[in-house]
Amino acid sequence: MVPPPCDQAKKRHSHHHHGGDTVADYSFFQGNPTWPASKYHLTYAFLQGNPAEAMGPVSSAFQTWAANTHFTFSEVQSNQNPDLTVSFHRGDHGDAAPFDGPGGTIAHAFAPTNGRFHYDADERFSVGALSGAYDLETVALHEIGHLLGLGHSSVQGAIMFPSIGSGVTQQSLHGDDIQGIKALYNT
């Protein structure tokens, strides 16, 4: 059975302190799938046909997660059996989660240990903020969170918030993202 893509995340965790202010509202995929302790170093590969301009921003997003978690990441060639793959697809691309063309879903990723991260090739992407385009690194930060086991957060400003507008960049993790990954892996 294929784990659900990011829009199917379940099991919300809320923490409240002092006067009802929400300080954490992260979620996990149903069943709390995680990478085993023997796989805290994950390899990733860009599949054939990816735009060259995507590689730097995606690699930077992996390094941001590494700087804030117990995970490390390294890029390998696609023929070296990577743990994670990054690719661009259109419409029905064989994962039971077809893309919908421009507008709507811009990317999706699957829960551990599936390892697939797909951008919708019909969307307009950019490196950095550009009106009418989605920042490659911002989208990668969000989808890598799913690859590690995080669902969506209701905290606006969290990288795991379920939506982002075009022309926006967010190249760091929010405290809610970090609390969520630490809670999931008990670190």
Helix (H) / strand (E) element for 93: namely none
CATH of domain 38-182: 3.40.390.10
Say whether 75 is catalytic.
no
Length of the chain: 187
* Pairwise CA distance, residues 150 & 144, whole Å: 9
3-state DSSP helix/strand/coil % of the chain, to nearest 5: 25, 25, 50
On whether 1 is known to bind a ligand per the annotation, the reply is no
- The domain spans of the chain are 38-182
Helix (H, G, I), strand (E, B) or coil at 22: strand
2, 69, 172 from 73: Cα distances, Å: 23, 11, 17
Q: How many C-beta atoms surround the C-beta of residue 83 within 10 A? A: 19
Mean pLDDT by 10 residues, the chain (187 residues): 38 40 75 96 95 97 98 97 98 94 94 98 96 97 98 96 93 96 94
Would you tell me how many other CB atoms lie within 10 Å of the CB of residue 68? 14
State yes or no: 177 annotated in a binding site: no
User: Is 7 assigned to a binding site?
Assistant: no
**pTM over 0.85, yes/no:** yes
Coil vs helix vs strand at 135:
strand
Catalytic entry in 53, 75, 137, 143: 143
pLDDT at 97: 93
pLDDT value for 24: 63
Give phi and psi for 23, each to the nearest 5: -110, -15
Backbone dihedral angles phi then psi of residue 26, each to the nearest 5 degrees: -80, 170
Q: Tell me, what's the pLDDT at 20?
A: 40
Instruction: Give pLDDT, residue 26.
Output: 92
